[in-house]
Structures are given as structure tokens and as C-alpha cells.
Amino acid sequence: MTEESEHEAQNASEYASGAEQRSADHSSGRSPREDGETASDSGASDVVRRDRFSGGPARGFLSSMDDDERIFATDLAVDRAHVVMLAEQGVVDDGEATAILSALDEVESAGFDALPGGEDVHAAIETAVVGRAGDVGGKMHTARSRNDEVATCIRYRLREDVLEAVEATLGLRKALAEVAEEHAETVMPGYTHLQPAQPTTVGHYLLSYEQAVARDTARLFDAYARVNRSPLGAAAFAGTPFDVDRERTAELLGFDGLVANSMDAVSTRDFLVEVVAALSNLATTVSGLAEDLVVFSNKGLVELSDDYSSTSSIMPQKKNPDTLELVRATAGDAAAGLNGLLTTLKGLPRAYNRDLQNATPHAWEAADAVSEAVAVAAGAAATAEWDEAALAEAAGEGFSTATGVADLLAMAGVPFRKAHEMVAEASEEGADYAALDAAAGDVLGDSLDAYVEREAVEAALDPAESVASRESPGGPAPEAVAAGLTAAEETVAADEAALADERDSLAAAAEKLRTEVSRYA
């Protein structure tokens, strides 16, 4: 029989090399094709609707075939696991299982575009199986509904998308950590409200995003654990009188367990909400990084690689950060998808409702767009050139070391609020020792050297010295940044191992399914 792993590998390769095309293929929603085309002939009869429901102006509106190509291979895997289980339970005999599984092989070889007309890919595949195996093909759907079949297919495919998103976050985190290590002592200005605030380092700044993306990785892993539960065997919503083994199909499909309650199994799409929410949060994190790089580029502090920039069609001198602007926009699209998904699900009664057909594309679109945006952000961050001289010059702008002087006075026993007042007054006159000494006389009633030595004040006014003094855990001092880099390296390695474990588990399940199917070949 054709090995399922070949299709999984092909899908993975296509994902890596054709994200833009796939996004275009699947982002348009449910757009029924013209009658007469093979897979999309929404007017043709299938084994589900038969002649009674095969016509009418709403057939195309009901069809999800344009979105379902994504889960074609997935549905075949679910069908195979179900048939193997039916044979093991004696619901179908071995000869019947062989006929059905052979027909599924033929359907797979012919491909999605050769499917007959159908309301969805599930009905179209079943119709094709019946066409090849005859009436025995109609036994494939025994003890199963499209409700639990669809829910299983969504979860099966979504696992791959979540793991792809996890891999994208790991690539970004490694890129950020590598550049952070290179620039661990490169002083730069830090901003609040887009105003010069305190000096920091490029390494400290980039590690702040690495840590944020690490939490996004953790959210995706958490969501994956709840996606990876099998609803198969729940039937329409009320279970089945057949002696099915739900744990067996879960095992063959690589699920960690069951969605136990049969009504919940077919109804819930909370796993979609959780995944899209995690993706939306990730997109928001990366949008902040993109915005920073756009602003720093505008200030001349960093130069983006030509590979992640473009030029104007009329102004030849322009170098625009277009890719990062689109990364920013992805956060809006993901948030809109989350809102659309929640609005679709709000107030739906138990158990299955056709509204759910419109829920799933939000997840597909978010998974494709966000993973691609994260990969682009990683490339832009890895290849950007930081202008160390410009960064050092800008680091002291706006009296950004003022807090360091106030801290120095507080360490000498001056109440911090009085020190704050004194430095604030000095900032109106200038960021130098003379202005600070005059302000000390006004606010503290004595000269500055009565509290701290001039050399210490001059050091506090220097951006590099100010950074070096901030050794608190997580701070920008070189020792603190080094500790942050070590922590980042360890968490990335742990998450890479967890990702590999999940993929190995899915591969082992796919191999087990192939082995069991081959018994009937």
C-alpha cells in the first residue's frame, strides 16, 4: 500500500517551500467552483445526500470542498484507522476491510482533484470508495458520523500546524539569542513612550523578545496537548451501539487520549480558540519587534538587509522595511480571525451545527500567516546590522542617565524622592555635573560632593558605566546578559527536544497505522 509517511513528508516540504501559495489557496474562504469540475461539482450526488439533496441553488453555498484539500490526506488516515478498528472488532470482516483499504489506496493515488463531487471531502472520499469497492465500500462509515470524523480530521491536521508554529518560534528565539550574544555589550538607548529613558544594550533588548517568544512557545505547547485528543467514535453526538474501540483508533492516529464525552467530542471547538489565541498572541509579540526595528531603522540605529527591504517604484533612494510592516499587519489579521472564530462559536447550541464549518478556516489562515511572519521576523533580526557608533551616541540623549544619578544619591542615604526631585531640576538646565551641583544646593541644601564623589557622578552620567552598574538579575549589565543567554540556550534546547518528541510520537503512530493496514493488503 502507499505509505502515509510519504505524504506527510511531502506536506511538510510543501509547507516549508510554498507558504505563500498555500496561504493564497486557502485564504479566500468558501468560494464554490463551477459545476462540471471534478472535485468541486457541488451539483453532483454523493452517497450522503443522494438524489434528494443533490440539487438546488444552495448546494455550492453548503460545500466546503475548496477548503478541504488541506485535510485530504488526513481524512484518508482517519478512514484507515477506523476501518482497521472495525475489522479488529469484527464489525467488518477481513475481506471487506481489504476491499475498503484498497479503494482508499486508489483514491489517494488519484489525488484530491480526481474526487467526485461532494458536499465535503469526507463525503467525496466515501463516494469514491463506494465507486471502487461497490456496496462493501458503504461499510466504511459504520459506527461513525461525519461529525466525529470532521472533528478528528481537524485535530489531526491542526497538530502539524501547531508544531510548525512552535518550530518557527524556536527559529526566531535562536536568531534573537545569537545576535544578543554578539551585541551583549553594545550600548543603545532604551525608550519608554518613545522618549529616551535609560541606556541599555542590544543584547538586553533582544533577550527581552526572546523571553516573550519563549512564553508564546509554551502557550502553543499547552494548546497542542488539548488539541491532541481524539473525538473519533463519538458518532453524531450520542455514541454508537457498535462495539467500537475508541482507544484503538486514538492510538493508531497518534492521539494522547480521548475527548471522553461524545457530545462534547463533536461539539467543542475550544481547541481552535486556544490555538488561534496563542497564534494571535505570538503575532502581537512579533509585531512589537517589527515596529521597534522599523523605528530604529528610521533613526539610523540599525540597517535591515536588502533581503528584508524593498524600494520605491518612483523614489530610487528609498529603502523601505516592507516585510516588517507586513509582519505588523499579520497581528491584525490574526486578531480578526480570533474574533471571527469566537463570534461564530458564541451561543451555538449543542451538539453539531453547520456554523462550525466556517470556524475552522480561521485556524488554518492564522497558522499559515503567523508562522510565515515569525520566520520573516527571524530572518530580518538575524541579518540586520546594528550601528554601534550611532547607538552609543544616542544612548545618552535626553539625559537618559538621570535615573543612575538619582540611584547613586539614594545609595548615599538621600531619600529617593528627594534625589528624583533634584535630578529633575538639574535636567532643565543640562545633563552635566555643574547643573546637578546647582540643583543639589537648591533641593538638598548642600553641594553635591557632600553626598557623593564627583568621579562617581561622572561615571553614573556615562551610558556604558550606567549599564555596567545594573547587575540585578535580568538587567543589562554584561554578567546579567550572559546569564540570560545561558537561560535562553537551555530553554530553547528543552523546547527543541519537546518538539522532536512530539514529532517522533506522531511518526511512530503513522508507522503503526501503516503496519496494521498492511495486514489487509
CATH number at residue 136: 1.10.275.10
Rounded Cα distance, 94 and 182, in Å: 63
Between vectors from CA 195 to CA 327 and to CA 420, what angle results, nearest 5°? 140
Neighbours of 429 (CB within 10 A): 12
Rounded Cα distance, 186 and 207, in Å: 13
Rounded Cα distance, 358 and 30, in Å: 8
Residue 40 confidence (pLDDT): 41
Listed residues 112, 142, 172: the one ending a domain: 142
Beta bridge mates, 192: 195
Distance from the Cα of residue 203 to its chain's centroid: 24
Listed residues 101, 123, 142: the one ending a domain: 142
Cell numbers at 322, concatenated = 516592507
Nearest to 387 by CA among 202, 260, 220, 137: 202
Beta bridge mates, 229: 257
| Three-class secondary structure of residue 391 per DSSP | helix
| Three-class secondary structure of residue 197 per DSSP | strand
Identify the sign of the CA torsion 416, 420, 421, 423. Answer: positive
Residue 382 shares a structural domain with residue 406: no
Residue 11 confidence (pLDDT): 40
Which of 193, 305, 309, 472 is an active site residue?
193
Listed residues 142, 170, 197: the one ending a domain: 142
Identify the sign of the CA torsion 364, 365, 370, 372. Answer: positive
Residue 161 shares a structural domain with residue 54: no
Per run of 10 residues, the mean pLDDT along the chain (length 521 residues) is: 39 36 35 36 54 54 68 96 98 97 96 85 92 96 96 98 98 98 97 92 98 98 98 97 98 98 97 98 98 96 91 78 95 97 95 91 96 97 97 92 90 92 86 87 90 91 93 95 98 98 98 96 75
Look-up of cell digits 552635566? 432
Asked if residue 179 belongs to a domain, the reply is yes
Residue 116 confidence (pLDDT): 87
Residue 351 shares a structural domain with residue 453: no
Give the pTM. 0.86
Active site residue 7: no
Residue 57 confidence (pLDDT): 57
Residue 358 shares a structural domain with residue 234: yes
- Give the structural domain span for 110: 4-12+32-142
State how far the alpha carbon of 173 is from the alpha carbons of 211, 486, 489, in Å: 8, 13, 9
Cell numbers at 98, concatenated = 481489504
**Taking each helix axis from N to C terminus, what angle separates 360-383 and 146-182, rounded to the nearest 10 degrees?**
10
Nearest to 421 by CA among 404, 400, 442, 401: 442
Residue 247 shares a structural domain with residue 320: yes
Active site residue 183: no
Residue 186 shares a structural domain with residue 205: yes
In this structure, the strands spanning 187-192 and 385-386 are: unpaired
Beta bridge mates, 385: 303
Residue 155 shares a structural domain with residue 251: yes
| Three-class secondary structure of residue 296 per DSSP | helix
Q: Is-contact 217 495, C-beta < 8 A?
A: yes
Bin 50: left if φ > 0, else alpha if -120 < ψ < 50, else beta: left
Look-up of cell digits 458518532? 235
* DSSP state letters, 33-75: --TT-TTT-TTS--TTTTTTTS-STTHHHH--HHHHGGGHHHH
User: How many independent structural domains does the chain possess?
Assistant: 3
Residue 32 confidence (pLDDT): 32
Rounded Cα distance, 186 and 251, in Å: 52
Q: What is the CATH number of the domain that holds 162?
A: 1.20.200.10
Beta bridge mates, 189: 199
Q: How many residues does the chain have?
A: 521
Which of 312, 420, 447, 505 is an active site residue?
312
Residue 50 shares a structural domain with residue 122: yes
Look-up of cell digits 523578545? 209
